[in-house]
């Protein structure tokens, strides 16, 4: 019995040691690929986004994480239909050929770039609507250095008369708003339904930070 116990303990120690070495030896590229895999887990899921006195469901279509030098870029694209809507081309009486879209359709893209060496803290974002499948991780930076770009696109025109079967339908899908700013807060979109994801993503971000710091100043 004692011999079996000792063997079990030894195997556990070997497993833990191997796992720790595997994490510690991940390269920058492998760490970024892991973060990219994690952000892509939200694709196809929805998130209820509050705006003024209401809230809208947005489904995630695209997401990515890329590293260029010491600049990490997070990108997400989401919209108000389950699948990304591509307008269909049709001939509208008294108007001509137009692309037709659902009148309530909205698309949003969020892009933010920052230097992971600037990471000060990583926490769960807690101000959003509770009970959601998709959550946000708040990364606070040491300085106001992250570059954020938000673009909103939606339909602008509705056929109200003399358009035959297209009366009441919408066209002219184009950019209607957005925001560019420099900030010290970064939001990382992640699959909240997996309750291990926060710690995994946090560890990966801190590992990337350590790699970049060591590369920038090996003796710092």
- pLDDT, tens digit, for every residue of 62-108? 999 999 999 999 999 999 999 998 889 999 998 899 999 999 899 99
* 220 confidence band (pLDDT: 50, 70, 90): low
| N-terminal to C-terminal alpha carbon distance within the chain | 50
Does residue 172 lie within any of the structural domains? yes
pLDDT value of position 179: 94
pLDDT value of position 3: 54
Does residue 171 lie within any of the structural domains? yes
Q: Is the pLDDT of residue 119 over 80?
A: yes
Does residue 110 lie within any of the structural domains? yes
| Average pLDDT, rounded, for the chain | 88
Taking residues 42-63, what's their average pLDDT? 92
pLDDT value of position 24: 59
Kindly report the pTM of this predicted structure: 0.84
pLDDT value of position 105: 92
Q: Which two tokens stand for residue 143?
A: 């300085």
Instruction: Find the helix packing angle between 28-40 and 197-216, rounded to 10°.
Output: 150
Domain that holds residue 54: 28-216
Q: pLDDT of 175-194, one tens digit each?
A: 888 999 999 999 999 999 89
Q: Which of 89, 75, 80 is nearest to 32 (CA)?
A: 75
Q: Is the pLDDT of residue 18 over 90?
A: no
Does residue 39 lie within any of the structural domains? yes
The total number of structural domains that make up the chain: 1
Does residue 37 lie within any of the structural domains? yes
SS (H, E, C) 37-64: HHHHCCCCCEEEEEECCEEEEEEEEEEE
Does residue 16 lie within any of the structural domains? no
- Answer for the pair 201, 190: CB distance below 8 angstroms, yes or no: yes
* 57 confidence band (pLDDT: 50, 70, 90): very high
Does residue 21 lie within any of the structural domains? no
Taking residues 109-118, what's their average pLDDT? 98
Q: Which two tokens stand for residue 25?
A: 């030896």
Taking residues 117-146, what's their average pLDDT? 93
Share of the chain above pLDDT 70, in %: 88
pLDDT value of position 2: 58
Does residue 20 lie within any of the structural domains? no
pLDDT value of position 148: 98
Q: Which of 178, 78, 169, 184 is nearest to 121 (CA)?
A: 184
Rounded CA-CA distance 59/134 in Å is: 10
User: Which of helix, strand or coil describes residue 24?
Assistant: helix
* 22 confidence band (pLDDT: 50, 70, 90): very low
């Amino acid at each position: 019995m004692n011999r079996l116990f000792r063997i079990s303990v030894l195997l556990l120690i070997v497993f833990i040691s191997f796992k720790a070495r595997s994490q510690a030896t991940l390269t920058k590229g492998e760490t970024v690929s892991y973060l990219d895999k994690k952000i892509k887990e939200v694709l196809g899921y929805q998130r209820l986004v509050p705006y003024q006195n209401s809230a809208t469901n947005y489904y995630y279509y695209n997401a990515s994480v890329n590293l260029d030098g010491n600049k990490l870029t997070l990108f997400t694209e989401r919209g108000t239909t389950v699948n990304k809507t591509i307008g269909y081309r049709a001939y509208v009486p008294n108007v001509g050929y137009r692309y037709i879209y659902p009148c309530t359709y909205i698309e949003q893209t969020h892009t933010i770039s920052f230097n992971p060496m600037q990471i000060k803290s990583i926490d769960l974002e807690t101000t959003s609507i509770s009970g959601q499948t998709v959550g946000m991780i708040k990364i606070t930076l040491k300085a106001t250095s992250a570059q954020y770009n938000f673009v909103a696109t939606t339909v602008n025109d509705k056929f109200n008369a003399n358009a035959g079967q297209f009366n009441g339908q919408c066209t002219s899908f184009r950019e209607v708003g957005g925001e560019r700013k420099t900030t010290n807060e970064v939001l990382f979109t992640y699959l909240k339904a997996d309750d291990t994801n926060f710690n995994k993503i946090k560890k990966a971000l801190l590992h990337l930070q350590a790699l970049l710091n060591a590369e920038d100043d090996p003796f710092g």
